[in-house]
């Protein structure tokens, strides 16, 4: 998987976590700090994992 | 109050102002969130069944005076801009914070409580009354109310506008050309935390992405999970939902001539104060330049501290951009070509 594709997938995963986690956990996920931080952490950590996992 | 709109409007605003003033995107975003930094007592803290820090009257505290209502006035943005400029001499940050705060205040006039836009010249609240202001219903009552009425539609409209008018602004190219190179924050993040490109892009997009997702998350919760969804039904009528217990109304002008009078007084007051602040800051700026640097002379190399860091354009300054994997600017390995990407304000 190219890094570009991996990044798009990471954003999609972050979106699913935010929406599903938000519905179930409400403000624990959907607050001004955790929500954006979750996007940054997911994209930063998941992108290299996905691109490395597929290429190896 | 608006929910996701505050996160989404910052990108739209930056897209339309970037060419003219090279304003910092992060400053616009922080400015757009700033008025609600004092919002904690609106809902209070619930710890082990005890409510702490909760305001007796949420609407009075959040939008009124006495209270935190002035944070939703235009002059608050001017005040923040002046303070930030005096501390940092960064025009793109000062103006960005002011414009972000202004968009927040203007956006929040859409609910029934409205904002004292022209405070301290008048305490008149300006409101479109699209949806019922409802923090008095508690945190989740407020959420259910907002996403059961026109508030949710308002957020969704901002998302549609963002996708139609500014979706390219979320792309890699826009970030590189218009965000990263116009704000020293990004090179600093890269240097200080060794942040890779994807992390910087994620920080740039984080609030917009979170804002978009929270529209769907909260709407789905309000409609399908909320234990009170039976009585907290969907109501897209103007000023709805009808099931909300209205907050106490603010006193204001009761006639049209009275409203026009206080509005003119307030608008003139804000415009005159903003102009005076601008003149005072420019004078202070020139005074600092003269005190630190002495007279400019042809061929004289000015020390870096003599250069104003942005708007208003009294000098030019460079913010070198260090790319991933490249040596730091200033080191012996740094190629001169790196400075080609530097930005002049």
**Residue in A23, A36, A38 nearest the CB of B221:** A23
Model confidence over B234-276: pLDDT tens digits?
Answer: 999 999 999 999 988 898 888 999 999 999 999 999 999 999 9
Contact A26 B202 (CB under 8 A): no
**Predicted pLDDT at B78:** 97
- Cα B127 to chain center, whole Å? 19
Contact A37 B206 (CB under 8 A): yes
Selection from B262, B313, B202, B233 nearest residue A38 by Cα:
B202
pTM listed for this prediction:
0.85
Assess whether pLDDT exceeds 90 at residue B339: no
Asked whether the beta carbons of B13 and B178 are under 8 A apart, the reply is no
Q: What is the mean pLDDT of residues B57-76?
A: 94
Distance CA B138, CA B247 (A): 12
Contact A39 B218 (CB under 8 A): no
The nearest CA of chain B is from the CA of A53 a distance in Å of: 17
**Predicted pLDDT at B315:** 38
Find the Cα–Cα–Cα–Cα dihedral B303, B306, B309, B310, rounded to 10°: -120
Compute the C-alpha angle B103/B109/B112, nearest 5°. 155
B198 reaches A (C-beta below 8 A): yes
What is the residue whose two structure tokens read 């102002």?
Answer: B17
What's the count of helices (H) and strands (E) in chain B, helices before strands?
12, 2
What DSSP line would sit under B330-344, residue for residue?
TSTT--GGGGGG---
% of chain B surpassing 90 pLDDT? 63
CA atoms within 13 Å, Cβ hemisphere of B243: 18
Model confidence over A5-45: pLDDT tens digits?
Answer: 999 999 999 999 999 999 999 989 999 999 999 999 999 99
Q: Average per-residue pLDDT in chain B? A: 85
Asked whether the beta carbons of B108 and B115 are under 8 A apart, the reply is yes
- What is the ipTM for the molecules in this complex? 0.94
Substitution target in A6, A13, A19, A33 with the highest count of B β-carbons within 10 Å is A19
CB pairs under 8 A between A and B: 69
**Residue in A15, A36, A40 nearest the CB of B199:** A40
% of chain B surpassing 70 pLDDT? 83
Substitution target in A30, A50, A52 with the highest count of B β-carbons within 10 Å is A30
Q: What is the mean pLDDT of residues B183-187?
A: 92
Asked whether the beta carbons of B25 and B183 are under 8 A apart, the reply is yes
Find the Cα–Cα–Cα–Cα dihedral B285, B289, B295, B298, rounded to 10°: -100
What's the count of helices (H) and strands (E) in chain A, helices before strands?
2, 0
Beta bridge partners of B126: B115
Model confidence over B102-120: pLDDT tens digits?
Answer: 999 999 999 999 999 999 9
Q: Which residues of A touch B213 (CB under 8 A)?
A: 14-15, 18-19, 22, 35
Say which residue, B270 or B40, is predicted with more confidence: B270
């Amino acid at each position: 998987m190219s890094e570009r594709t991996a990044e798009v997938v990471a954003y999609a995963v972050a979106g699913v976590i935010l929406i599903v986690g938000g519905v179930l956990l409400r403000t624990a996920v959907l607050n001004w700090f955790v929500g954006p931080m979750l996007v940054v952490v997911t994209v930063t950590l998941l992108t290299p994992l996905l691109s490395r996992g597929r290429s190896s | 109050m608006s929910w996701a709109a505050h996160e989404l409007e910052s990108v739209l605003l930056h897209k339309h102002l970037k060419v003219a003033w090279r304003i910092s995107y992060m400053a616009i975003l922080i400015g757009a969130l700033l008025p609600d930094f004092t919002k904690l007592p609106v809902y209070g803290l619930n710890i082990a069944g005890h409510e702490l820090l909760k305001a007796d009257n949420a609407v009075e505290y959040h939008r009124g005076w006495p209270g935190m209502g002035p944070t939703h006035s235009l002059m608050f943005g001017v005040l923040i801009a002046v303070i930030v400029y005096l501390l940092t001499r960064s025009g793109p940050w000062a103006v960005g914070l002011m414009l972000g705060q202004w968009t927040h205040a203007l956006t929040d006039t859409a609910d029934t409580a409205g904002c004292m836009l022209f405070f301290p010249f008048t305490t008149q609240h300006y409101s479109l009354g699209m949806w019922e202001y409802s923090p008095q219903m508690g945190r989740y009552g407020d959420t259910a109310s907002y996403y059961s009425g026109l508030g949710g539609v308002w957020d969704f409209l901002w998302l549609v506008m963002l996708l139609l008018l500014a979706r390219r602004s979320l792309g890699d190219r826009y970030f590189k050309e218009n965000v990263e190179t116009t704000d020293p924050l990004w090179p600093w993040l890269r240097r200080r935390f060794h942040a890779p490109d994807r992390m910087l892009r994620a920080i740039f997009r984080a609030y917009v992405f979170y804002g978009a997702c929270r529209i769907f998350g909260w709407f789905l919760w309000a409609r399908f999970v909320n234990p009170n969804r039976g009585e907290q039904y969907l109501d897209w009528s103007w000023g709805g939902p009808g099931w909300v217990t209205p907050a106490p109304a603010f006193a204001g002008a009761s006639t049209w001539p009275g409203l026009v009078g206080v509005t003119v007084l307030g608008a003139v007051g804000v415009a005159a104060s903003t102009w005076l602040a601008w003149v005072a800051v420019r004078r202070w700026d020139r005074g600092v330049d003269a005190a630190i640097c002495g007279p400019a002379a042809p061929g004289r190399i000015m020390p870096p501290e003599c250069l104003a860091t942005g708007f208003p354009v009294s000098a030019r300054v460079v913010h070198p951009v260090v790319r991933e994997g490249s040596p730091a600017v200033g080191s012996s390995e740094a190629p001169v070509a790196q400075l080609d990407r530097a930005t002049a304000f």
